[in-house]
Amino acid sequence: MPSDPHLHLEDVSWKYTGDECGLCQWDQSDEHDTYRRTRFHALHPHRGYYALRSLRIEKFFAFWGQDLDTFTTPLECGREFRVKFDKDTNFLGREALLQQRQEGVFRRFVMLVLEDHDTELDLWPWWGEPVYRSGQLAGTTTSSAYSYTLQRHVCLGFVSPPPSPEGLPTPITPDFINRGDYEVDIAGQCYPAKAKLYPFSSLFAQQKRRKEDMDLGNLHGK
């Protein structure tokens, strides 16, 4: 750490989102540094920490330490594509993941988009809210935020199917997620929600590509 009293060390990593964030050292007695500091703040305006939270949740980006922990496997949170099963490379946990892929996972990380929820009057979700599927407790939320793209609240969390009659865990399937009627309990009030395995931004991109393909096909047909 510098001991010069003319130097001011400022941590701006919590205020900005650009690549140039971090610890910035300014010489308060230098006019050039004063100009440089003013220009830095002009080019990197305050973004707000909760903007990062909102953007990553509506993009379905899981947060390590809150959504995911050391007990979460890539198959449970939709990150199987990051595991190179097809390569002849051994790694810690490979056999366990191969067994889980064969037997199925018993919980799945999902996106829950709230419906019939008034952001001005109703309480906002935070995390830890119970998630119900067709009236049965299926899981809890792990994080949530208001999505400015969808203009509604979005929750992330894990859901699981009920156990078998023998009391054994039941593997979860995409049909279980897509065909269920979901509700999120916020302070005792249940709000309907749609469960998704993929972010809405991917659906928007697919719809845009289909529209462009249709427009291109119509152009070639003329």
The domain segmentation of the chain, as residue ranges, is 7-47, 53-202
Query: Which residues 6+ apart lie within 8 Å of 167 measured at CB?
Result: none
CA distance 116 to 178: 19
CA distance 211 to 221: 15
Task: Write down the pLDDT at residue 14.
Answer: 41
Reduced DSSP (H G I as helix, E B as strand, rest coil) percent helix, strand, coil of the chain, to 5: 30, 25, 45
Judge if pTM exceeds 0.75. no
**At 200, which amino acid appears?**
F
Q: Are 161 and 172 spatial neighbours (Cβ–Cβ below 8 Å)?
A: yes
**At 67, which amino acid appears?**
D
Task: Write down the pLDDT at residue 203.
Answer: 52
Q: Are 190 and 129 spatial neighbours (Cβ–Cβ below 8 Å)?
A: no
Give me the residue label for tokens 């191969």.
98
Task: Write down the pLDDT at residue 187.
Answer: 93
Task: Write down the pLDDT at residue 20.
Answer: 46
Q: What is the pLDDT of residues 180-214, one digit of tens each?
A: 899 999 999 999 999 998 887 655 555 555 555 55
Q: Are 82 and 91 spatial neighbours (Cβ–Cβ below 8 Å)?
A: no
Find the distance separating the first CA and the last CA of the chain, reported in whole Å. 70
Q: Are 153 and 121 spatial neighbours (Cβ–Cβ below 8 Å)?
A: no
**What's the CATH fold of domain 53-202?**
Gyrase A; domain 2 (3.30.1360)
Task: Write down the pLDDT at residue 142.
Answer: 95
Task: Write down the pLDDT at residue 144.
Answer: 92
Q: With a cut of 50, list the residues of the chain below it in pLDDT.
A: 7, 9, 11-28, 30, 216, 219-220, 222
Q: Which residues on neighbouring strands pair with residue 10, listed in sequence order?
A: 24
